[in-house]
Amino acid sequence: MKTIGLIGGMSWESTAEYYRLVNEFTRDRLGGLHSARCVLYSVDFAEIEQLQVQGRWAEAGEVLAAAARALEAAGADMVLICTNTMHKVADRVEEAVSVPLLHLADATAEAVRASGLRRVGLLGTAFTMEQDFYRGRLEARGLEVLVPDAAGRKVVHQVIYEELCLGIVREESRAAYREIIAGLVTDGAEGVVLGCTEIELLVDAGDSPVPVFPTARLHAEAAVNAALSGWSQEDGPQRGRRGAP
C-alpha cells in the first residue's frame, strides 16, 4: 500500500474523521487487521484562520507547502489537504512536492457525475461558497453549482467556525442547515455538496431530501483507492491474518 500524506488540523475535529475514514476504507478493502499507511502533519488552525481573515493567502500557502514537503520527506506517496477552504492554495502545495496532490474538488465532482447529477447546492465556508477556486473547479467538470443566499451563507459559515470547529454540535444549527438545504432544493439543486469537512459532523443524508456528497468521506475513499492501486487479491485479508499474533 502506498503511503497517504494528510495535511490536517484545519480543524483537528475533521482531521480526526479523515484518519478514521482512511483506516476504515483500508480495512474494508483488505480485511483482517489491515490499517492505512499514512502520515499526518497537523498545523495550528488558529494561525491559519488569522491568515484567512486577513486575506494573507500566500503566507497560508507557504505554511501548507512546508507541511507537504515534510510529508513527502516522511515517505508520503501522495498528499491530501484535509479541508475544502484551504484548496484555495492547492496550486502552491502542488508545486512544493514531487508526489501527487489529490484534489478534494476533483474527488467530489467525480462522485457527483457518477451519480448522474449535474446541478448541486454547495455548503461550506464563505470562502468556499463565494470564491471561484472551488466552485470553478466543480463547474469546469460540468457541474452547475448553487449556493445559499447571503443570509444562508452567513449562517453556514458561522456554524462552521463558531461551533463545529470547536466540536460543538447543536440541534438548532442542524435545523437551520436543513432549512438552507431545503431552499437549495427549491432552487433546483439535485444534490448537495457538503463542501466543508466539519459539516459532516452536523448533517448527513437523513437531513436532505436529495443526495448529499460528504467531501471528507469522498476524499478519503479516493486516497485509499489511489494507495491500493497496485494491490492484488493475493495480498488480501489472508496475508494480514498470517502475520497476526
Residue 6 has φ and ψ, to the nearest 5°, of -115, 120
**Cell 507557504 belongs to residue:** 62
Terminal CA-CA length for the chain:
21
Burial of residue 24 (CB within 10 Å: 0-12, 13-18, 19+) is: middle
- Catalytic residue, chosen from 15, 26, 82, 83, is 83
Chain centre to alpha carbon of residue 228: 19
Task: Check if 3 is active-site.
Answer: no
**Cell 457525475 belongs to residue:** 113
- Residues 188 and 119: their CA atoms lie apart, in Å, by 7
- Catalytic residue, chosen from 38, 82, 165, 196, is 196
Q: Is 116 left (phi over 0), alpha (psi -120 to 50) or beta?
A: left
Q: CA neighbours within 13 Å on the CB side: how many for 146?
A: 20
Amino acid at 137: R
Asked if residues 194 and 168 have their Cβ atoms less than 8 Å apart, the reply is no
Task: Check if 128 is active-site.
Answer: no
Catalytic annotation, residues: 83, 196
